[in-house]
Amino acid sequence: MSTPSISLSRLGWSAPDGHAVLSELDLHFHGERTGVVGRNGVGKSTLLRLIAGELTPASGSIAIDGTVAMMRQAVQVAPGEQVADLFGARAALALLRKAEAGLADVEGIAEADWTLDTRIGEALAAVGLSVPADAPLAALSGGQRTRAALAGAMFRAPDFLLLDEPTNDLDRAGRAAVRDILAGWRGGAIIVSHDRELLEAMDAIVELTSLGAARYGGGWSAYRARKAVEQAAAETDLADAEKRLAMVRRQTQATAERQARRDAGGRRQAARG
């Protein structure tokens, strides 16, 4: 059995107005928790949507060996939507309710998942929620919907979780619950976040910039330490370059002055001659 992986090769995507958001991006993800950071608008959420198949690359390719489940940054609520919809279990739950009410035929009774309520309840309890699977999604607060969406993504046991700002709209207890859950997650995860405490628990950090992507081992502290080293090296290189430029300018000036003196001497000699 192959190890789950996601490989991006020369990936590119442009906004409808033609603005290139991602260009020539090469990245590889394996079964680890990877935080994705970068300034707003650089394409972090776009990257997740491309991997999830919600967007089509303009160029390059995405190769996925395994399964993925995505949790959006904002959980939108459609009319009549239930908590079960976040678990992809609406139809299965309806069949179960029909069987429980004695309204299902023999085939329906055989197909009904009699453990569904329990399993969804356990998944919700793991994120600190106690609501029935057929509860209206609109009845939940924004933070509760976020936690329910995380539970729904994990319920499908994918090889990779794709999470876009999973701790947004959560209070301190909610953020701590999400961090604890992800700490125990044994699959791969690609997590866009500004939450430094969450990023600290990552196995690797990928920084997206307009120039591409760079990967750093370890969590937030290791990433910042490495960035500080790179910044210091860049500043040293800049200082050295400025010194070399100043030296070249001095040499150029000295050469020009010597040439000017020679030219002046030549003109005086010619005048005397």
162 and 63 fall within a common domain? yes
210 and 247 fall within a common domain? no
23 and 62 fall within a common domain? yes
Q: What local confidence, expressed as pLDDT, does residue 117 receive?
A: 92
177 and 237 fall within a common domain? no
237 and 214 fall within a common domain? no
Whether residue 183 is contained in a domain is answered as yes
Kind of pairing between the strands at 59-65 and 204-209: unpaired
- Can you tell me the distance from the alpha carbon of 176 to that of 152, in angstroms, rounded to the nearest whole number? 18
Whether residue 81 is contained in a domain is answered as no
Q: What local confidence, expressed as pLDDT, does residue 127 receive?
A: 87
Residues of the chain with pLDDT under 50: none
Is there a contact between 190 and 48 (Cβ–Cβ < 8 Å)? yes
214 and 238 fall within a common domain? no
Whether residue 209 is contained in a domain is answered as yes
CATH of the domain at 173: 3.40.50.300
Whether residue 25 is contained in a domain is answered as yes
Whether residue 19 is contained in a domain is answered as yes
1 and 45 fall within a common domain? yes
Q: What local confidence, expressed as pLDDT, does residue 25 receive?
A: 96
Q: What range does the domain containing 243 cover?
A: 233-273
Q: What local confidence, expressed as pLDDT, does residue 73 receive?
A: 66
Nearest to 94 by CA among 106, 80, 104: 104
Tens of pLDDT along 50-105? 999 999 999 999 999 999 999 876 677 888 899 999 999 999 999 999 999 988 89
Whether residue 101 is contained in a domain is answered as no
Whether residue 96 is contained in a domain is answered as no
4 and 49 fall within a common domain? yes
Domains identified in the chain, total number:
2
164 and 272 fall within a common domain? no
Whether residue 18 is contained in a domain is answered as yes
24 and 62 fall within a common domain? yes
For residue 253, the tally of other CB atoms under 10 A from its CB is 10
Q: What local confidence, expressed as pLDDT, does residue 61 receive?
A: 97
243 and 267 fall within a common domain? yes
212 and 251 fall within a common domain? no
Q: What local confidence, expressed as pLDDT, does residue 272 receive?
A: 66
Phi and psi (nearest 5°) for 64? -115, 120
Q: What local confidence, expressed as pLDDT, does residue 77 receive?
A: 80
